Structure 1
């Protein structure tokens, strides 16, 4: 007799596997941690096997869970594709996406192209800003969804990827040796700024701001010409600049999450489909890395 998998349980399993944390999965799915645990247990009972083990670092897939994960992703992809195609008549209008300056031309560019090719009838408007500005715009209803960079930890959004925040300088440059340290930030509202300055203060570094006006091209120019150093996510560092390692003598910086935020009502069909492309696009980038 044919038996059917519950797609909701499968989606919860994949989210928990990707985040290796019940808490992060619960935040991403807008559920309680107890609800996520219960759904995982129901799936395990239905399949008659254990999918996760716990250790000090969080959740770890069992060998059976590892075998299930790839097929579960394909199942979800097919499910979401069917829903998108069958609801194509509803896919009209505009999507306003908020994106941090540093992700527009690097991490997210392939996702934008894939979405516009699949849904040419949807008008996409990009709103660039710092992560705090984008969070305010989403809350005000000025944008339909937002990619927000936040320190790793509790969030109301869905974690798409975690990346190291790194120091960046000119190739063979000497700005990192100057006192006080010249630091260039894109804007005074940059999500990285409080973390970077706190790290400098905690290690007793004197610093001065070289540039803060919201233009990433100008910030890049100050670093490229060795006027200053900056801090960016590792994947966004231009190839002609150096990631400054521990031997540079600068204080360590924490990891940051690239999080997807939707309005409380979840957004319309076009925004939900854009969210799916963002999830899958960043997942493919992570698997290819």
Structure 2
């Protein structure tokens, strides 16, 4: 009798297990913001995706998505589940890879522009290192044109390249505004000739910036171009010059300057470039991580 009571109490308190297939469908749908796109990515029908989302909502007793004019949008419950769902899938995939002897290993040489390595890509690099601990990562920081040349020469395995928004040979991961940046309440923005500090003379932004200044008839002078992002940032913080960065990478203690003060600049895209030949498994794994990482960034934005 005592044993039966204990079993009854235990069964009443049992925690149900989440079906990782349903969680994967949910995370993919959240990333794509579309059941149709999620169905294509998962090689399912749209109806199957819809049914799996409905089953997960029934298991959790929560509505995870709602529709608006822009398409699917996460509810608050969906937002709470998304990060934990990603972690659950990551751990699941790590266990499966390790136990099956298919864990990613080897070396990968990743090319990243100076301005992205400590900003947009920092969390992606961290999660990749955690997910693939057997991979030896070599990080190469350079300007986008230099990284494109290195990828073509085979000295790096993949590259994140900033290019003017438009057609690209790579895969567009994000599009961002190129903006003027100056010291908080500084005066460098109003000086003539305009003092401009860029990380390097090979900077991907440089041609667009010089074209905009020329079309605006604005005289300018170079303050710093020596391939050091920290030195460029220091010249701007010290109000010795202004610079141009993607809006998402601007430090919070600096000002994004209005187009009323300086000429408008074009949008730039952050593109993933893989080698023309087949990429190594470690490089393919990083490509997957950066796609997922920047999808989360766009979702949060």
Using the size of structure 1 for normalisation, the TM-score is 0.73
Q: What residue number does 1:154 align with?
A: 167
Match for residue 246 of structure 1 among 238, 244, 259: 259
Match for residue 132 of structure 2 among 104, 108, 119: 119
Return the offset for 1:140: 0.8
Return the offset for 1:116: 1.0
1:79–1:232 Cα change, 3 Å: same
Q: Does 2:286 align with 1:274? A: yes
Match for residue 227 of structure 1 among 233, 240, 258: 240
1:262–1:78 Cα change, 3 Å: farther
Contact 2:94 2:131 in 1 (8 A): no
Contact 2:33 2:71 in 1 (8 A): no
Count of matched residue positions in the alignment of Structure 1 and Structure 2 = 249
List aligned pairs for 1:1-289, cutoff 5 A.
Answer: 66=72, 86-88=96-98, 89-90=101-102, 91-247=104-260, 249-289=261-301
Unaligned runs of 5+ in 1: 1-10, 18-24, 26-38, 48-60
Return the offset for 1:264: 1.3
Using the size of structure 2 for normalisation, the TM-score is 0.71
- Separation (CA, whole Å) in 1 of partners of 2:278 and 2:92: 19
Return the offset for 1:266: 3.6
- Separation (CA, whole Å) in 1 of partners of 2:184 and 2:216: 25
SS for the counterpart of 2:182 is strand
Contact 1:84 1:273 in 2 (8 A): no
- Separation (CA, whole Å) in 2 of partners of 1:202 and 1:64: 36
- Separation (CA, whole Å) in 1 of partners of 2:252 and 2:196: 20
Contact 2:182 2:257 in 1 (8 A): yes
Contact 1:137 1:143 in 2 (8 A): yes
1:81–1:261 Cα change, 3 Å: farther
Q: What residue number does 2:18 align with?
A: none
SS for the counterpart of 2:176 is strand
- Kindly provide the CA deviation profile for residues 94-144 of structure 1, in whole angstroms up to 9, marking residues without a partner as x: 111000000111111111111111111111110000000000111111111
- RMSD value over aligned CA atoms? 3.6
